[in-house]
Amino acid sequence: MSIVIWADGRLCGVDDPVATAVDHGLTVGDGIFETCSVEGGRAFALTRHLRRLARSARGLGIAEPDEDAVRAGIDAVLATAGADVGRVRITVTAGPGPLGSNRAAAGSTRQTVLVLAGPAVRNEVSRAIRVPWVRNERSAVAGLKTTSYAENVVALAEAYRRGADEALLANTVGELCEGTGSNVLVERDGELVTPRLTSGCLAGITRELLLEWASADGLPVREARAGELAFEVLDEVFAGSGHLALAGSIRNVVPVVSLDQRDITAGEITLAARRLFEARSAENVDP
């Protein structure tokens, strides 16, 4: 299917202009976004995604987007998209601005709000590599889902170059942090453990739902304790004494079956977590 685009209250063609050349999202990455998977023609966990969109706006210091308008955009693109639609993407930028990093005076411009629907490829497993670049857990935008994703683009390109589909990053103090577009979980000693938010990782919706559902179901999935998940934990996984999982909106919960181009096995709790996520997400499209 092709991509369906909604901008400024109406559906547009792919070649229609939707933003000016001085849009601050385009010039300096001054924007925020969300990606939801689409299940049965509806955006999955939309309420949580919109909540995080508002949180990212506050963190960036731009106005919170009008939720009704964004929901209308989502309805419009999903009503038009074909049956094979797999994802919706919401992008909100600060709108037109100066050529430098300073913003236009508050209230002097309008935000750019775009909603897109498109296909998604969903893999049952993932292949990951370690990359030498780090997440800055003390960054001004740590934990926000901003459109400044060039670091992720570079790391993911490296992953693809090495036959993988995700790159894993440490933070500046050597803790395991996350992937370019996923949260990471380590399975060892009968538990599935994910880095704490203080590591600088995104508060992933998939991660959040898995933690809630696992806790309700008695599956041992939890956040790491302080100092528990150094990046070196991946050495253990690489050596075969642990397992890895990734969590993210298009992937859902998947085992990692290769690390740095060496096969690794899927863990039992990881597979149980994948089953649990599939079952619970099928019950309610907006949990």
Q: Closest residue (Cβ) to ligand PLP?
A: 204
| Pick 96 or 200: Cβ nearer ligand PLP | 200
C-beta of 202: minimal distance to ligand PLP in Å? 4
Strand pairing category for 126-135 and 166-171 = parallel
Identify whether the C-beta of residue 261 lies closer than 8 Å to the C-beta of residue 164: yes
CA proximity to 114, closest of 33, 179, 189: 33
Contact assessment for residue 138 and residue 121, using Cβ atoms and an 8 Å cutoff: no
Compare residues 204 and 242 and give the one whose CB is closer to ligand PLP: 204
Q: Closest approach of Cβ 124 to ligand PLP, in Å?
A: 17
Q: Name which of 103 and 254 has its Cβ closer to ligand PLP.
A: 254
- If the CB atoms of residues 109 and 148 are measured against ligand PLP, the closer one turns out to be 148
Identity of the residue, 135 or 243, whose beta carbon is nearer to ligand PLP in the bound complex: 135
User: Is the four-CA dihedral 119, 121, 269, 177 of positive or negative sign?
Assistant: negative
> How far is the C-alpha of 233 from the C-alpha of 241, rounded, in Å?
10
Q: How far apart are CA 125 and CA 103, in angstroms?
A: 42
Residue 282 Cβ, how far from ligand PLP at the closest point, in Å? 17
Q: Tell the smallest beta-carbon distance from residue 52 to ligand PLP (Å).
A: 7
Q: How many CB atoms neighbour CB 83 within 10 A?
A: 6
In the bound complex, what is the minimum distance in angstroms from residue 133's beta carbon to ligand PLP? Answer: 13
Q: Interface residues with ligand PLP (CB under 6 A)?
A: 35, 178, 181-183, 201-202, 204-207, 247-249
Nearest distance from C-beta of residue 48 to ligand PLP, angstroms: 8
Question: Is the CB of 96 or the CB of 256 nearer to ligand PLP?
Answer: 256
Distances (CA, A) of 214 to 88, 189, 193, 220, 225: 26, 17, 12, 7, 17
